[in-house]
Amino acid sequence: MHIVNLEEIQSIKLRIPELIQHFENRDTKFASLTKEWLIEAEKVLVNNSMAVAADVSVLRGVLISAERGVIPSGIMFSGKTTARKIKDATSVDVLQKADRIISAAIEASVTQITEGERLTRQVVALAIRKGMVQKENLHGHDEMLREIWRKMSLDPELQPVTTHIIGLVGAYDALILLDRSLSLLE
């Protein structure tokens, strides 16, 4: 999975705290906002060819059922059971399950990219020490990044690490990680 795709999925997950804030504030739109979030999460997952979109879709179905008065299994209530309590409790439950499903689906990619980031920062630090990094824009920023990567890849000491980074994240994402590593040093 490419960095841009992973970050798109993570941005969807980062909206969950806002939804829970609506729940805490007893917002009457909480269930509908949750359903909108599930629809958007499905779209992002489908666009990234992730089969877990089906799991998220099923969770949306559970929420739709709750809106129609069906109490999902495993949800208990204290006091009087109202339509709103059913919808809100189901919304919290499906958010939690969707978060777990999505997190599990991207876990390996997160690990790979995190390792790629760590290695890239290390190889950039060594390349700077060796004088390989000059931030001269040859024919643009992308060309500069490719030239720095080329120099690091040709260096006998750095070549195994650059090969490993490409193996972890791919050539395109390696340049993104290089760019981010360089910007951290500014």
List the domain range (segments joined by +) for residue 180. Answer: 112-184
pLDDT at 80: 87
pLDDT at 171 over 90: yes
pLDDT at 77: 81
* 9 and 92 fall within a common domain: yes
Q: Which pLDDT score is estimated for 137?
A: 60
Are 124 and 180 contained in the same domain? yes
Of 9-18, 77-86, 125-134, 138-147, give the range with the top mean pLDDT: 9-18
Q: What is the mean pLDDT of residues 157-177?
A: 97
Q: What is the pLDDT of residue 134?
A: 77
**In whole angstroms, what separates CA 114 from the centre of its chain?**
12
Choose one of 78, 110, 142: the last residue of a domain: 110
User: Could you say which of 61, 77, 110 is where a domain stops?
Assistant: 110
On the question of pLDDT at 138 being above 80, the answer is no
184 has a pLDDT exceeding 90: no
Given pLDDT bands bounded at 50, 70 and 90, which one contains residue 136?
A: low
Instruction: List pLDDT tens digits, range 16-28.
Output: 999 999 999 999 9
C-alpha 131/C-alpha 125 separation (Å) is 10
Q: Which of 57, 82, 110 is the last residue of a domain?
A: 110
Its pTM stands at 0.87
pLDDT of residue 57: 97
Res. 33: pLDDT tops 70: yes
Number of domains making up the chain: 2
Residues 35 and 97 in one domain: yes
139 pLDDT above the threshold of 80: no
CA-to-CA distance for 113 and 128, rounded, in angstroms? Answer: 22
Alpha carbon distance 152, 12 (integer Å): 35
Secondary element (H or E) of residue 130 = none
Confidence of residue 146 (pLDDT cuts 50, 70, 90): very high
Mean pLDDT of 117-146: 87
Dihedral angle over CA of 51, 56, 60, 61, nearest 10: 50
Residue 78 has pLDDT above 90, yes or no: no
Token pair, residue 70, equals 């069906």
**Taking 80 as the threshold, does the pLDDT of residue 120 lie above it?**
yes
- The answer to whether residues 123 and 102 belong to one domain is no
**Contact indicator for 129, 157 with CB cutoff of 8 Å:** no
